[in-house]
Chain A
Amino acid sequence: MDRRRINGPAGATQPPVFDDVVSQGAKTVSGRSRMPDASRKMYLKTGVTPSASGSAYLEMETSAKPGASGLKLSCSVHGPRALPRSAPFSPHIVLSTHIKYAPFATKQRRGYLRDPSERDLGIHLEAALRGAIIADRWPKSGVDIIISIVEGDQDRETSKSQGEEAWDMMNALAGCITVAAAALADAGIDCVDTVAGGVAALVQDGGADSTPTIVVDPIPSDHAKILAACCIAYLPTRDEVTNLWFRGDLPASDMDLYTHLVEKGILASRNANCVLTNCLMETIE
């Protein structure tokens, strides 16, 4: 509970559903317009916040409405700077990550304070970045990585979300990892490699009996059912995974399916890494 501000009523209200679309009835699943291995278009720019030592902005295309943009992330990196005198000695850089959805970013309003899911995302991001940063070059110092999700990627035309929050979180995390890596590079903090995030999902498009397929960079509203998904933070030149987050329901007898899913997740993060590298090259020139 936020005591410093005037809070809205505690009781939940239904978010408004606008009825101006042709689809008056239940919205059918539109289906995926991209190839299974193609990621969405992404816009990445570094150095957007002059007061921070490093910053980046990422925008991702949504397929709910062609041409419109979905996920918008802004990341700023403060540091490396000296730890306060009261802090205990640390032989490494102390990394603190902070991910916050803007209150208006999703259909359901988010509060000003971070809720558990945002804290959870922060820990995931920390695990992904800590593997990439060469932490022992900055003893006794700290760096803050602050990401605000200005707009979440949600299809506003569907009135009710069908348990998609979990999969949305994975997409958001992948974006957060990529944008944080760009901001870290902009701040000039030494990393072993540029880390980028990618998502792959096992989806079932045609009914319960159809064979599931694996797609890269899924949008939950495009698919009838998502069976499993994984988000991967990957270092391409070292061929190493710094963070793996899998969620879903897979039979244990089918290890191949899991392995393929991880391979596709790596492919997705390679795609994101291309954008990241190009963006950083442009900054140098």
Chain B
Amino acid sequence: MSSTNHVLLSPAELAYLHASLSLTPPIRPDGRAPTQFRPLVAETGILPGTNGSARICFADGTEAIVGVKAEVERTVVGPEGEGVIVEGGEGEVEEGGGEGEAGWVEMTVEIPGVRDDDSGTAFLAAMLSEGLLADEGFVRRLWINRRFHWKLYLDIILISPPLSYPLPLLSLTTHLALLSTRLPRLKSEGDEDPFFDDDWAAAPYLFPRPNGKSTTFVSQTRPPITLLVMAVGNNIIFDPSKEELAVADVALAVSVTAGSSSSQAPSKHVPMDTSTEGRNLRLLSIRTIDPPSRLTPPGVANAANSAYGANAGQKTTHEAQATAEGEAVEGVWRAPRGGAKRMVLGALVQKVLERGGVVDEVLDALEGVDLG
């Protein structure tokens, strides 16, 4: 699934859409505000055979299911690592002191109607796992002891046809599935073969949450979310639909997470509840999405169109090309050429990371989902 799926819009429709999105404030086809998300329905814990699962359905009919499965796997120890074990002896294993590896998380994305070796699907999977792995603390949670670790399989399935670029949907569903993921409680100690509590109710969450009663400060790290944001003219538009993406000048996928960084301990002990000003955002990854607007058919200006009295016949080809390549005529669609100004890119990222902005809004909404 690439972002460049053909959109069946005529050049005139594209020009109209581009003009209305460039107004201040922009007028979106579905009447949303520029920073407004599509309404969605979310639920978690829908798959009993998994460690965590979630389903999200967007208002436009796209729907995704994510299942998280964990398996115990033996850690492959290199020649140096073995030496450390011999030296280290027993009993001084600090909690979560191991180092994680990127290979401990495996993510697959399946989109109906798309071949499973399609590059776009690989791109989506790489983008989603990149955000997850950029947070070093995450893989460290999968560490059991020096000999074993959890291997986490995240299987993302889009169960509706891809009506819009599915990145925000898949990312939010993955976020919820990870939040609801629980791993069995470890009963064995040290470097023994792991042995787990068979009481599922005692299984701790992969992302420990602050429970309302206890006042103990739990680290508020959350799985990342990836937002799709695009620019048209001077306007920044979040969560674009397929038609809006078809006229984008530039589109970015930005992964952010909330929570204290693993390296820097929170210096001031502010009790961070869900109020928006307390959230401490971190930027994890940015990728440029190739906007499908580059593949749209160009319009023909009346001045160059022989049906409207442009001189047919002599010297046309050269002149027609000159007009096609020359100045943009208002109301005539031309596919954007070249890249994005760095100011525009900077503004896009700035807008995403804004305190109390869209990310906070989305995270607040996702916190409202009952994790069962």
Which residues of A are at the interface with B, using a C-beta cutoff of 8 A?
12, 14, 17, 26, 88, 90-92, 116-117, 119-120, 122-124, 126-127, 130-132, 134-136, 159-160, 163, 165-166, 192-193, 208, 230, 233-235, 238-253, 255, 258-259, 262, 266
Contacts and interface: CB of A to CB of B under 8 A. Distances in A.
Nearest to B120: A123
B276 interface: no
A252 B335 contact: no
A249 B123 contact: no
A246 B298 contact: no
Interface in B283-315: 283-290, 294-298
B105 interface: no
Interface of B: 2, 6, 76, 78-81, 101-102, 117, 119-120, 122-123, 125-126, 130, 133-136, 252, 256, 261, 263, 280-290, 294-298, 324, 335, 337-342, 345-346, 349-350, 353, 355
A266 B342 contact: yes
A245 B135 CA distance: 16
Given A208-B263, A248-B284, A117 B350 contact: no
A123 B122 contact: yes
Contacts of A241: 288, 339-342, 345
Contact of A262 (B101, B133, B285, B342): B342
Contact of B285 (A124, A135, A247): A247
Given A92-B295, A131-B339, A255-B349, 14 more contacts: A14-B78, A122-B119, A123-B290, A127-B290, A131-B337, A132-B338, A163-B102, A240-B338, A241-B288, A244-B288, A245-B287, A249-B282, A251-B280, A252-B353
Nearest to A139: B297
A128 B4 CA distance: 14
12 contacts: A12-B76, A117-B122, A120-B123, A123-B120, A127-B288, A136-B335, A163-B102, A166-B102, A238-B338, A241-B345, A248-B283, A252-B280
3 shortest A-B CB distances, which residue pairs? A242-B339, A240-B339, A252-B281
- Secondary structure class of chain B's binding surface, majority of residues: mixed
A119 B281 CA distance: 30
A92 B339 contact: no
B138 to A, nearest CB: 11
B349 A258 contact: yes
A163 B2 CA distance: 28
B126 A116 contact: yes
A129 B15 CA distance: 24
Contacts of A165: 102
Contacts of B256: 252
Most B-side CB within 10 Å, residue of A117, A193, A233, A250: A250
A223 B176 CA distance: 36
Nearest to B76: A12
A246 B285 contact: yes
Contact of A26 (B2, B80, B133, B287): B80
